[in-house]
Chains A and B, each alone.
Chain A
Amino acid sequence: MRAWAPIAVAAAALFALQLLLGRFEFFVYLASLVGVNVILAVSLNIINGMTGQFSIGHAGFMAVGAYTASVFSLATNDTRIAGLGVVSDQIFFVAALALGGAAAALCGFLVGLPSLRLRGDYLAIVTLGFGEIIRVIVQNTPSLGGPLGLSGVPQYSTFAMVWFVVFITVLVARRLASSTHGRALWAIREDEVAAEAMGVDTTAYKVRAFVVSAFFAGVAGGLFTHFQSVITPAQFDFTRSIDIVVFIVAGGLGSTTGAVSAAVVLTLLPEALRSLFGAIGADSSLSAVVDQIRKPLYGVLLIIIMLARPQGIFGTNEAWDLFKKKKAAA
């Protein structure tokens, strides 16, 4: 019972928010963008932060999820479950998300397997290669739209749905971390040889970390395509993967709280800059400049963080642990 209660509460709260805020289109769009980035950051944190493996191909898993979900939704666009109205769309939407997640998880399994023999930089290169291979394959597959991508994906996504998935992702990351499985992942991060000597099947754990992480990246991709409506391979390139790595490194590798906060702040930052430039009356070409200065800005930010606080803003701390400690002290 206690396990399900938070999920029910979150669902109810998000539904209420949806009714309140659902009509502010720009807000919903921005919130969805932030939500997708949070899911990507939290899920990548399972591999990079908890397990200590360095993956820089997360956009690849996202792309697999996005394209799988899009193809499914485009194919079933005209199909309706009789008598269910809008609910029918949402059922197809959830199915598309699940399919996208499953396809990405399968890729996670396949990438995870050879990666087990590799450590550090070598693993990073394999994951980078995976991301690029996915992008190049999509780019050269006419049935997936080639470089132009897919368009006309039905906009099933809602504010409530995106943030419900965000909630589930954080919940999974948190429950994983506080279980014997999460501890095994930490053990691998801390010392692989010792973990193995203490009976931790490091191979299986690493593969599973990849599978879980890729699944959520795939779902994030599925959500993304259902509010963007248009996806192109260029959206899932190397810089996208690096963006996600920046989120978790800035937030603190191993901290879900850090991943969430950094993803929120760094997604909103360019938007804030854009409206700032708008407010001071700069001409519209400046908003294009904002997109260009985003990357150097990230770079400078990351250098500052690495110099001032190499463990990231939150280190490996979690907001809920802080709360627990305060309660224990009181």
Chain B
Amino acid sequence: MSVGEVILEAKATSITFGGLKALTSFNLQVKRGDLKGLIGPNGAGKTTAFNVLTGVYLPTSGDVEVCGERVNGRRPWEINRRGLARTFQNIRLFKSLTALDNVRIAVIANTKPLFARDRIARLRSGSSMNRVAAKVLDASNNYVDWWRALLKTPGFLREEAELTARADALLEVMGLSHRRDEQAKNLPYGEQRRLEIARALGTQPKVLLLDEPAAGMNTREKADLMVLIRELREKFSLGILVIEHDMKLVMGICEHITVLDHGETIAAGDPAAVRADPKVIEAYLGEAPAHA
């Protein structure tokens, strides 16, 4: 749990779609407690990088590691369970469900299943026989779980109460308690963004990836968001990686910034250094005319 433990690491990760190099040898390390930024002009490959990190895309070469374990080819939900949660650039809430249910879906119960989760995780990273065993144990857990729900066992009811309480606590943190029973689609834009963060936090991540969290927010909401992101890092001892277009926000909160252009990392370092980098200026403002 200590600050400084490396949670997420991309090692020379590349991905190509047909002939297009969307991401070329991307390197990144996020430790617990880090607050890093990922910027770049439109189409630079920022969201692609997120999708590779979270398992939506399989990298063409290079590795993605979560907590020291290689996760290439793992499904997004498995990567999420290892401690990586994200939000989406174009808000992807469960629109017709209530705010509470949106968060409750993400929250995992702390109660002990029939077969211990870490035991299954250990088997899963073992030989192929062990992987089969892990599948069987996992499936048994799930079927027992369904039966407990259908029979409304006391354990199940306690678990539901716990899930609801934890989801309520997260709504409270994100200032959304008053929206608890409203459908997600009826929330104002800024609140939808916050609800997405609450949902991501529900999965108890170690690293949170925020894809343009301030998009569409007004100046006041952006200022609040900056404070909130810092608070979240402290409160949940998270590592946070932010994709953002708003320079003021990125420069204001991030301690380390990686700049992408055409899938290549053109600069990385602290905000001041990145801002002064001629390559970055060129990427954003275009090449200086030769006879200026």
Interface, chain A (partner B; CB < 8 A): 2-3, 172, 175-176, 179-184, 186-187, 190-191, 193-204, 208, 212, 316
CB of A180 within 8 A of CB of B149, answer: yes
Chain A positions within 8 Å of B156 at CB level: 179
Q: Smallest Cβ distance from B207 to chain A, in angstroms?
A: 13
CB of B146 within 8 A of CB of A199, answer: no
CB of A3 within 8 A of CB of B151, answer: yes
CB of A196 within 8 A of CB of B77, answer: yes
Interface, chain B (partner A; CB < 8 A): 54, 56, 75-78, 80-81, 85-86, 88, 92-97, 101, 104-106, 108-109, 139, 142, 145-146, 149-153, 156, 159-160, 163, 199-200, 202-203
Measured in the bound complex, the distance between the Cα atoms of B107 and A183 in whole Å is: 11
What 8 A-B pairs are tightest by C-beta distance, nearest first?
A179-B149, A190-B94, A3-B152, A194-B92, A199-B80, A198-B106, A196-B76, A187-B105
Once A and B bind, how many residue pairs between them come within 8 Å at the CB atom? 97
CB of A198 within 8 A of CB of B93, answer: no
CB of A198 within 8 A of CB of B85, answer: yes
CB of A179 within 8 A of CB of B85, answer: no
Measured in the bound complex, the distance between the Cα atoms of B153 and A187 in whole Å is: 24
CB of A186 within 8 A of CB of B146, answer: no
Give the interface centre of B76, B95, B163 by most chain A CB atoms within 10 Å.
Answer: B76
Chain A positions within 8 Å of B81 at CB level: 199
Secondary structure at the B interface, as helix, strand, loop or mixed, is: helix
Chain B positions within 8 Å of A182 at CB level: 149
Chain B residue with minimal CB distance to A201? B77
Give the interface centre of A175, A179, A197, A200 by most chain B CB atoms within 10 Å.
Answer: A197
Q: Smallest Cβ distance from A123 to chain B, in angstroms?
A: 19
Measured in the bound complex, the distance between the Cα atoms of B152 and A2 in whole Å is: 8
10 further contact pairs, Cβ within 8 A, besides A3-B153, A197-B56: A175-B150, A180-B104, A183-B104, A183-B105, A187-B97, A196-B75, A197-B76, A204-B142, A208-B142, A212-B146
Chain A positions within 8 Å of B101 at CB level: 183, 186
Q: Smallest Cβ distance from A204 to chain B, in angstroms?
A: 6
CB of B152 within 8 A of CB of A198, answer: no
Chain B residue with minimal CB distance to A197? B76
Measured in the bound complex, the distance between the Cα atoms of B156 and A111 in whole Å is: 30
Chain B residue with minimal CB distance to A186? B97
Q: List 12 A-B contacts (CB under 8 A).
A: A179-B156, A180-B159, A180-B163, A190-B96, A190-B97, A197-B88, A197-B92, A198-B77, A199-B106, A199-B108, A200-B77, A201-B75
Chain A positions within 8 Å of B200 at CB level: 198
CB of A193 within 8 A of CB of B109, answer: no
Measured in the bound complex, the distance between the Cα atoms of B81 and A104 in whole Å is: 33
Partner of B92, one of A176, A193, A212: A193
Chain B positions within 8 Å of A181 at CB level: 145-146, 149
Chain B positions within 8 Å of A208 at CB level: 142, 146
